[in-house]
Amino acid sequence: MKCKLALSQINTVLGGVKANLDKHLQVIDEACSQNVDLLVFPELSMTGYFLQDLVPTVSMRPNITDPLFKKLIEASRRLDLVVGFVQEDERNRFYIASAYLSAGEVLHVHQKIYLPTYGLFDEGRFFAWGDQVRAFDTRFGRVGLLVCEDFWHASLPYLLWQDGADIMLFTSASPGRGLTQEPQLDSARWVDHINRAYASLFTTFVAHTNRVGYEDGLHFWGGSMVYDPNGNVLARAPQQEEALLICEVDLNQLHRTRVRLPLLRDERTALVERELTRILSQGNRPAGR
């Protein structure tokens, strides 16, 4: 089975939901004209990233009662979509969310679990923490969705793997940092390393969509990539500029890789559960240095 995947590496207007929606619809048109099956937008693609006090003014409810979100749901009749937005729940908590839309339905909403609140990040000040990670079924098989800092915690891709995800869709608004003599920034290299590792260790597809553009002096570096279950790079978008990265994914590669390398078959989840329970019951232990 094949899936024509597209990663939409866009710039956004900070706080301009209507303008960002229009851009989504334009990219959707372009992707449809190229017969894309699944189109992934980056983290907070509907709002921009450094929202601060804009958070409550740009939030949406991911259903047809929201006039703007309704347009995205309607567009999902043409192709499957992943969009990034601020979700306000029924008790007025705000989440960084990512939704998978297909055939006019909201199949899944992931609320970002790990909110970086250190260094240049301040998400925990403005957003509520998601508390669930779930794989879900799509017409291309079972999928896992994570947002940026989520996939810096190895436990979440691991849990999705165990929950059946064969395609990991990661989205980011990753600010570029770490200029050296290398042709890419440290931040680009770090993300490449870990995503390649997940694809290799979990023998899954990993697709990472990162945005571009500037918000004040911070810039997002793009460089969206698709990895196959062997950890090979299937497609790579340019860095620092907008792009629509289209990549046909042959899902039969899962079969071939897992015959060669049955890591999923051999994973000893009962051992993980037993040892983790033991470790957590022991409380803090000294570092030993």
- Structural tokens at position 110: 């992931």
Size of the site for other proteins (CB under 8 A): 23
Q: Does 215 bind other proteins (CB under 8 A)?
A: yes
* Contact positions with other proteins (CB under 8 A) in 2-41: 13-16
Q: How far is the CB of 215 from other proteins (least distance, A)?
A: 5
Q: How far is the CB of 68 from other proteins (least distance, A)?
A: 17
Distance CA 142, CA 159 (A): 13
* Residue with the two structure tokens 């998978």: 100
Per-residue mark of binding to other proteins, 160-199 (x: CB under 8 A):
----------------x--xxxxxxx--------------
- Structural tokens at position 192: 């490449």
Bridge-based pairing of strands 225-227 and 205-210 is antiparallel
In the bound state with other proteins, the residue whose beta carbon lies nearer, of 130 and 223, is 223
Contacting range for other proteins; rule: CB under 8 A; set: 34-42, 46-54, 88-96, 262-270: 46-54
Q: Does 119 bind other proteins (CB under 8 A)?
A: no
Sheet of strand 205-210: strand arrangement: 136-138, 141-147, 167-172, 205-210, 225-227, 233-236
Q: Does 118 bind other proteins (CB under 8 A)?
A: no
H-only helix segments in 98-223: 123-126, 155-162, 186-202
Q: How far is the CB of 266 from other proteins (least distance, A)?
A: 41
Nearest-5° Cα angle at 63, 61 to 65:
85
Q: Does 137 bind other proteins (CB under 8 A)?
A: no
- Structural tokens at position 120: 């240049």
Give the residues lining the site for other proteins (CB under 8 A): 13-16, 50, 52-54, 176, 179-185, 213-217, 219, 240
